[in-house]
Structure 1
């Protein structure tokens, strides 16, 4: 049982604390996030334009069609995943939602190992997201130096890692200090408007700078290319990796749910709002970039500046303009890291609260001094990111594993609870205020199919099927090591003590729950956990 928990009324409204108590948890974090700020943390993590810039190497080889229509179609599929997640997030909003839902919905013989696997995959996936964001920041920053020196400066892997390291450490301090003065939620609003400002500036700068050289609508919407060794159709699918990586931060709304006011509505609002914004604005961004970029795609991919977007800006507004826009770009990317470190720390804290991570007794402590937030987990996640970032010292192929750890790790964490709900938990699901009604199961099945496909896509070599150590996609190596290691740890040792989510509050079990007195773990019954004031689909359908 948790101890030294502050008075609930100082942290949350009674209805929010009661909702969490029905899931077995005491209110330990302060609910500072409004509905818009929950959306903001996801949108800030996605960092639309910086993310598109960081992943142009995936979309450009398929030409404008791959960039524009690949974005539109893949984003629509991700929105379906968001709908499935929103059903669950509205019904059972908790910081460790993905592994909690997996344990609750899964069959008894599978719930413990699957919950354990999802918790580790999600935690490491979020830390991998921090690594990939900060690595992208390092590449953008050094590209500005290359621009400023007209190519005289040639960054080494060591220099890139040092920039990456400084970025991660700066994020740790900012998250810690912002938590102390309780402004983390308000910062998400600032980050959201910073992203929108960068998008608006690009919408003006690129068309004006290329007014006499803009590409035709036919080129933007119908021109295909294939600069890979794969068939053209598969090259088009590989372009989907850009939106798949970019729109990958929506689960942060779940991890921040115990700090959100009216979480049963704020979580689905944040998930669908952030995905919807990235879907629509990202589509426009891709159109603008495709209309203003050079038609020599190989020169963009092999630019001496190291970043295709730097070359696109340079062609439009020259050296000084490109430096100014790339500076805005990497500053916005830096803001993304603050938000994802916040989300990663909440997932790590929730998993520690349930005793699953090493040194859980240490990391599960909440810091009252820093605004009732898990500061130890903030620095734990930052430290792990610094270690994982050492991959960028090896080679670019190894550094790309930072991106793959994020995509595949989170995909597994999203897929498993949705799958468990469809296969084993249909009768146990009690809808929240947001519910997709009779479409819920078809949406969930479609989401599962897409997540399987996108995971396999993330594991394929990008350049061609004929790989070398330099062109190998190490996603399957990295993620199978994570997944295999987690399962090995479970069956060798953790199965003896990990019994799933644990109660941290002295409360009578709600209908459909049983409390194992020996482990204080929660196991779902046949009727589900009704944590909402609504009575299910009849009052909660949309």
Structure 2
């Protein structure tokens, strides 16, 4: 009869098995990294950043880039004034459906060209040789400026939201306790921007852990708001027909146009979907992990948004009261009305405020990689400085500082217009929309031939998603530029003027002048050419 192994022997077997499992996992991770670096070499670049993110970690970062409860909170005024609950709920669902098709389409292309250049690099590789330089230049500048202005919008939105949350508290006479002056708003924004850059630069190795923790923090905060507002509902609850079907246009524009302007709410919250592409060179297996993360995070964002928005519509006060709030931040106003207690309402905003900082850090990280990737191809003035990677911190620190300085300078617009946030969020959405759709359009008209080289091809479904994304170009991209440049309220004053068009045209003029002065003769795009990449891929495949 066989003797049972001793406890010590069993422990040894268990530890040995664990060690062997961990060793296999480590070898698999190293193999993935080696393959990713080999592919990056084929695509024309040397690996300079540490590949430290897994599938879940890059998905979590993609989720944090959108930070749906926060992103939807800071722009909630747009759909409430634009169309009421109908614009809030159904506008969110409509835009998410379109962006999901966009994510699938970008995912298919990214599986073939997974670099930090993202859509910029993809546009160059997919374009006919005759148009490669100019197409990549337009896409690259749109992508870079979009990353910078969306990051700026996030940090400035945090400023506005923070002041509104503080003013949940009122004195005995009903006055706000912190009537911030313009310079105070700017100083708060300045501090938030510095904090986000410091965390991103100095804590790079811990950012995946921060993103993971943020997921639990987000859903914890959302469920706390959901339970508290529905359970307490100090001023009563609205009917289901109101929460899902009430339409009121209170912007002064025609109802249809008013509803469309309100879509900036959802477009802004999902605009960061493609920013995760700039992290491709810090992911262990970007060809599959980044596309999966991008699509998975969008589904999670949609679900989180529904859980967050629907309860608020059931306790929404009179729409005109919400719109007339001087801070333009409906969430603190709605929570104070629904909870009936200043301290309780403020406590529910704390998770959103924390999420806002995490979102700012994630956007700062992604935008710095975008600036760095565009700089290493010599497309930005002073590229020799911005393309340097700080080996001690494992981050492109110079590119991060450039992005930060541009944000701080653009933030000065607030001294001239209280609607500066509209300019930042609107122009950011416009730039990124243009950048996202360019490689999809070129891929579709080129017959999607390049997808045979990738591991993520949806076939017929992918074609349908491409067509919807192209429809996004025709019915949205060309529409979104004038739409998000319009003043939100009519009639318009200097203070309520939307300067998105100014920021947008400023970026176009700067990139155009630099192309004429330098790029036309000196810019050559990424170092590897499409035919060379195809040849080397085929060689490796054999």
The verdict on a shared fold, with TM-score over 0.5 as the criterion, is yes
Residue aligning to 2:76 = 56
Residue aligning to 1:324 = 347
Correspondence 1:132-531 to 2 at 5 A = 132-150=153-171, 151-179=176-204, 182-210=205-233, 213-294=236-317, 296-304=318-326, 306-317=328-339, 318-370=341-393, 372-424=394-446, 426-455=448-477, 456-457=479-480, 459-460=482-483, 461-463=486-488, 467-502=492-527, 522-525=528-531, 528=534
Residue aligning to 2:43 = 23
Deviation track 1:422-442 (CA, whole Å, cap 9, x = no partner) reads 234633443422221123233
**Aligned to 1:366, what secondary structure does the other structure show?**
coil
**Aligned to 1:248, what secondary structure does the other structure show?**
helix
Q: Is the 8 A contact 2:105 2:462 kept in 1?
A: yes
Distance 1:528 1:231, change over 3 A: farther
Q: 5+ residue gaps in structure 1?
A: 1-8, 503-521, 536-542
The structure 1 residue matched to 2:61, chosen from 13, 33, 41, is: 41
Q: Is the 8 A contact 2:78 2:264 kept in 1?
A: yes
Q: Is the 8 A contact 2:267 2:429 kept in 1?
A: yes
Q: Is the 8 A contact 1:430 1:530 kept in 2?
A: no
Residue aligning to 1:511 = none
Residue aligning to 1:86 = 107
TM-score (norm 2): 0.88
Q: Is the 8 A contact 2:32 2:285 kept in 1?
A: no
The structure 2 residue matched to 1:13, chosen from 2, 19, 33, is: 33
Counterparts of 2:213 and 2:334 in 1: how far apart (Å)?
Answer: 27
Q: Is the 8 A contact 2:274 2:294 kept in 1?
A: yes
Q: CA RMSD in A?
A: 2.3
**Superposed displacement of residue 245, structure 1:** 0.4
The structure 2 residue matched to 1:77, chosen from 98, 101, 116, is: 98
Residue aligning to 1:124 = 145
Q: Is the 8 A contact 2:417 2:496 kept in 1?
A: no
Counterparts of 1:269 and 1:123 in 2: how far apart (Å)?
Answer: 23
Distance 1:384 1:532, change over 3 A: farther
Q: Is the 8 A contact 2:62 2:293 kept in 1?
A: yes
**Superposed displacement of residue 290, structure 1:** 0.4
**Aligned to 1:525, what secondary structure does the other structure show?**
helix
Residue aligning to 1:538 = none
Deviation track 1:489-538 (CA, whole Å, cap 9, x = no partner) reads 21232111110002xxxxxxxxxxxxxxxxxxx22239947859998xxx
**Aligned to 1:396, what secondary structure does the other structure show?**
coil
**Superposed displacement of residue 474, structure 1:** 2.6
Distance 1:525 1:442, change over 3 A: farther
Q: Hey, which of these two has a bigger chunk of helix by percent?
A: 2
Q: 5+ residue gaps in structure 2?
A: 1-28
Distance 1:451 1:327, change over 3 A: farther
**Aligned to 2:301, what secondary structure does the other structure show?**
helix
Counterparts of 1:21 and 1:315 in 2: how far apart (Å)?
Answer: 57
Counterparts of 2:129 and 2:351 in 1: how far apart (Å)?
Answer: 51
**Superposed displacement of residue 143, structure 1:** 1.6
**Aligned to 2:395, what secondary structure does the other structure show?**
coil
**Aligned to 1:36, what secondary structure does the other structure show?**
helix
Q: Is the 8 A contact 2:115 2:280 kept in 1?
A: yes
Residue aligning to 1:6 = none
Counterparts of 2:519 and 2:129 in 1: how far apart (Å)?
Answer: 16
Deviation track 1:411-465 (CA, whole Å, cap 9, x = no partner) reads 1110111112123463344342222112323321311222454342353225456
> Max radius of gyration: which structure?
2
Residue aligning to 2:87 = 66
Q: Is the 8 A contact 2:40 2:115 kept in 1?
A: yes
Q: Is the 8 A contact 1:12 1:27 kept in 2?
A: no
**Superposed displacement of residue 12, structure 1:** 7.0
Counterparts of 1:73 and 1:321 in 2: how far apart (Å)?
Answer: 33
Q: Aligned pair count?
A: 504
Distance 1:403 1:202, change over 3 A: same
Distance 1:252 1:63, change over 3 A: same
Distance 1:198 1:533, change over 3 A: farther
Counterparts of 1:212 and 1:175 in 2: how far apart (Å)?
Answer: 42
TM-score (norm 1): 0.88
Q: Is the 8 A contact 1:305 1:311 kept in 2?
A: no
Q: Is the 8 A contact 1:250 1:270 kept in 2?
A: no
